[in-house]
Amino acid sequence: MTYNAVVIGGGPGGYVAAIRIAQLGGRVAVVEKDKLGGTCLNRGCIPTKALIAAVEKLKSVQEAADFGIEVVAPKINFSKVQARKSEVVEKLVGGINFLLNKNKVDLFAGAARIKLPGIVEVENNGETQELQCDNIIIATGSRPALIESLGYNGTTIISSEEALQLSEVPKSMLIIGAGVIGCEFAIFMVVWERK
């Protein structure tokens, strides 16, 4: 199979580029080694917004009395909050799958590497296949920067990826990094803590 373009990475950078190429008449494939939607849908923008939406609801209930609406103390089911977050993510990932299909973009599951100019090799469970192409788009994204001296261990010292999978909200947490991601987690934890 020869493609006008092979896109490595099915995150927002990759799938949007692939759809656009297809819309312009190009024959295109996306190779994704993990989950379609990349960091944004699976471990970034979308799950964090789902958690923020949950604490916004909680905050509205907490502040309802100021508006003359008295409610009993809310009962919170954190596993349900997490389950809803996962549902939102799955639905949106399904949407991307649909869009790729609709635009006739071929999707290959596996890890891609550029073997030679114009040849992308896809490896999945020990099996490899080669895709020939005129152009290659590398849209492999980024990973959390793990600062070695902090002793990341994935349980008590974690990155945003594990923070999104917590089964309960910790009693205390130090967030290193006050960028958008750090601040979002801080908002979530603070509102939750005040419940």
Ligand X SMILES: Cc1cc2nc3c(=O)[nH]c(=O)nc-3n(C[C@H](O)[C@H](O)[C@H](O)COP(=O)(O)OP(=O)(O)OC[C@H]3O[C@@H](n4cnc5c(N)ncnc54)[C@H](O)[C@@H]3O)c2cc1C
Which residues here bind ligand X, judged by CB under 6 A? 8-14, 31-34, 38-40, 43-45, 48, 111-112, 139-142, 160, 181
Choice between 58 and 131, CB closer to ligand X = 131
Q: For 141, phi and psi rounded to 5 degrees?
A: 70, -150
CB of 185 to ligand X, least distance (A): 8
Least distance from ligand X to the Cβ atom of residue 149, Å: 21
| Residue closer to ligand X (CB basis): 51 or 58 | 51
Query: Is 45 or 189 the residue whose CB approaches ligand X more closely?
Result: 45
Per DSSP, the three-state class of 33 is: coil
Pick between residue 14 and residue 58 the one whose CB is nearest to ligand X. Answer: 14
Shortest approach of ligand X to residue 74 CB, angstroms?
26
CB 11 within 8 A of CB 139: yes
SS3 109: strand
Structure tokens at 68: 């003359």
Label residues 25-43 b or e (16+ Cβ within 10 Å = b): eebbbbbbbebbbbbbbbb
Cβ neighbours around 165 below 10 Å, total: 12
Q: Give min distance, CB of 83 to ligand X, in A.
A: 19
Specify whether the CB–CB gap between 19 and 103 falls below 8 A: yes
- The answer to whether 181 and 49 have CB atoms below 8 angstroms apart is no
Which amino acid makes up residue 139? A
**Smaller CB separation from ligand X, 8 or 105:** 8
Helix or strand holding residue 73 (H, E): none
Tell me the closest approach of the beta carbon of residue 65 to ligand X, in angstroms: 31
